[in-house]
């Protein structure tokens, strides 16, 4: 639980409400540490709050109206959407207009929270789950049922960050066999994009980062070329030296506005840049008007990869079972009691995909 936005998380015993009609209680086996958890600290969330939004575990209790899952099911939890608006009905739940309230207010849509301590409110429902805990409440629609043969300590690696990178490539950019792509930022999001680009047949995959060990891993996971941006005077020129005329696709997974501009500068005519990294400082980027008017390039965001988790997670786990999406290479596990160490490793870049194990 976080009380102080500038302090460490603390472990405390809390009271958890019984599930409402459409809710479930999940006993967490593991949960991921994601960039959104790091952004959540020190930002706009009320406190005290329990963070965590990549929970995997076993359903131990269901509400009276639950029909999607049963007690004993292995599940991976995702974000929550209202499920009723036109946007959700169109198959884009990540763009639900109620997203901010449902995922970031620290409460349910009606303002209530399922957590308390000695009669005092504790905010929860972070991404509808607050899975930095041994047990959590979630809405049944957030739960994707997993094959029980899948290791639950690996399951969080198929959640938010990995879905964002892989989903952006598979469902957003949709490259053809032989296409080229540059991925700036080789964290969990960028690495997942690289792996999916290889799955879909991109033959030139350029990984950009500042950490030599990450660039080496990127090559093992599918990158055909790498560039250290600290050692490259003109990154766009370096990319164009590899792919004359520029790449078809670019991904900014770094969250730096100057690198967003660089990513666009790497594009060929008609190319597209996906902006996935988050600049929490409220920065902006500028692009030449002429470039848009005359070269046909495009820029867009793909929050969460714009995937429908129940459809996309089985696809990722099947690819992993075939050895084609080795997300386990990104994972480093930590005991839940060592959450401060895991968060520090995520913030420093020492761990690509930290997973807390209960």
Q: Which of 36-45, 175-184, 290-299, 345-354 is the most confident on average?
A: 175-184
SS3 content of the chain, % helix, strand, coil (to 5): 35, 25, 40
Q: DSSP string of 216-274?
A: HHHHHHT-SEEEEGGG-S-HHHHHHHHSTT-EEEEEE-S--HHHHHHHHHTEEEEEEEE
3 falls in which pLDDT band (50, 70, 90)?
low
Task: Render pLDDT for 37-96 as a digit per residue (tens, 0 to 9).
Answer: 876 565 667 889 999 999 999 999 999 999 999 999 999 999 999 999 999 999 999 999
For the chain, domain boundaries: 15-152+326-357, 162-303
Look up the pTM and report it: 0.93
Under CATH, which number does the domain 15-152+326-357 receive? 3.90.180.10
Does the pLDDT at position 214 exceed 90?
yes
Question: Side-chain half-sphere of 68: how many Cα atoms within 13 Å?
Answer: 18
The angle subtended at Cα 250 by Cα 214 and Cα 298, nearest 5°, is 160
Q: Which residue has the tokens 């169109």?
A: 90
Strand 180-184 relative to strand 15-16, pairing: unpaired
Residues 59/70, Cβ–Cβ less than 8 Å: yes
Burial of 247-286, coded b for 16+ CB within 10 Å and e otherwise, reads: bbbbbbbbbbbebbbbbbbbbbeebbbbbbbebeeeeebe
Under CATH, which number does the domain 162-303 receive? 3.40.50.720
Confidence at residue 277, expressed as pLDDT on a 0 to 100 scale: 86
Confidence at residue 206, expressed as pLDDT on a 0 to 100 scale: 98
Whole-angstrom distance, CA of residue 77 vs CA of residue 57: 9
Whole-angstrom distance, CA of residue 130 vs CA of residue 167: 23
153 falls in which pLDDT band (50, 70, 90)?
very high
Does the pLDDT at position 269 exceed 90?
yes
Mean pLDDT of 188-205: 98
If residue 122 lies in a helix (H) or strand (E), which one and from where to where?
strand 120-122
Task: Render pLDDT for 87-123 as a digit per residue (tens, 0 to 9).
Answer: 999 999 999 999 999 999 999 999 999 999 999 999 9
Bridge partners (DSSP) listed for residue 204: 180
Q: Any idea what DSSP says for residue 345? A: H
Residues 165/189, Cβ–Cβ less than 8 Å: yes
Mean pLDDT over each residue of the chain, to the nearest integer? 93
Confidence at residue 6, expressed as pLDDT on a 0 to 100 scale: 62
Angle between helices 188-199 and 160-167 (to 10 degrees): 40
Residues 25/59, Cβ–Cβ less than 8 Å: yes
């Amino acid at each position: 639980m976080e009380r102080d936005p500038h302090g460490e998380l603390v472990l405390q015993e809390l009271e958890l409400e019984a599930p409402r009609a459409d809710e479930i209680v999940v006993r967490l086996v593991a949960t991921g540490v994601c960039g959104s958890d790091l952004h959540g600290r020190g930002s706009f969330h009320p406190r005290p709050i329990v963070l965590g939004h990549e929970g995997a575990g076993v359903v131990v209790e269901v509400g009276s109206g639950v029909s999607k899952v049963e007690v004993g099911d292995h599940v991976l939890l995702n974000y929550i959407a209202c499920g009723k608006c036109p946007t959700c009905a169109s198959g884009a739940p990540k763009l639900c207009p109620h997203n901010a309230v449902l995922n970031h207010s620290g409460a349910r849509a009606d303002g209530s929270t399922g957590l308390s301590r000695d009669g005092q409110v504790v905010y929860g429902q972070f991404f509808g789950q607050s899975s930095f805990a041994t047990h959590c409440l979630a809405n049944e629609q957030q739960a994707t049922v997993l094959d029980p043969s899948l290791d639950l300590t690996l399951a969080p690696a198929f959640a938010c960050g990995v879905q964002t990178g892989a989903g952006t490539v598979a469902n957003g950019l949709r490259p053809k066999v032989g296409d080229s792509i540059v991925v700036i930022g080789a964290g969990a999001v960028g690495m997942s994009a690289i792996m999916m680009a290889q799955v879909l047949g991109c033959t030139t995959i350029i990984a950009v980062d500042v950490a030599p060990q990450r660039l080496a891993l990127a090559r093992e996971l599918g990158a055909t070329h790498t560039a250290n941006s600290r050692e490259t005077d003109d990154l766009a020129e370096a990319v164009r030296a590899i792919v004359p005329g520029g790449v078809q696709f670019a991904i900014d997974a770094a969250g730096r506005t100057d690198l967003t501009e660089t990513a666009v500068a790497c594009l060929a005519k008609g190319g597209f840049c996906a902006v996935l990294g988050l600049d929490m400082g409220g920065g902006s980027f500028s692009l030449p008007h002429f470039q848009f008017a005359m070269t046909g390039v495009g820029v867009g965001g793909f929050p969460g990869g714009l995937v429908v988790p129940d459809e996309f997670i089985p696809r990722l786990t099947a690819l992993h079972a075939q050895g084609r999406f080795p997300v386990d290479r990104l994972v480093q596990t930590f005991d839940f009691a060592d959450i401060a160490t895991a968060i520090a490793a995520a913030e420093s870049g020492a761990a690509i995909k930290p997973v807390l194990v209960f």
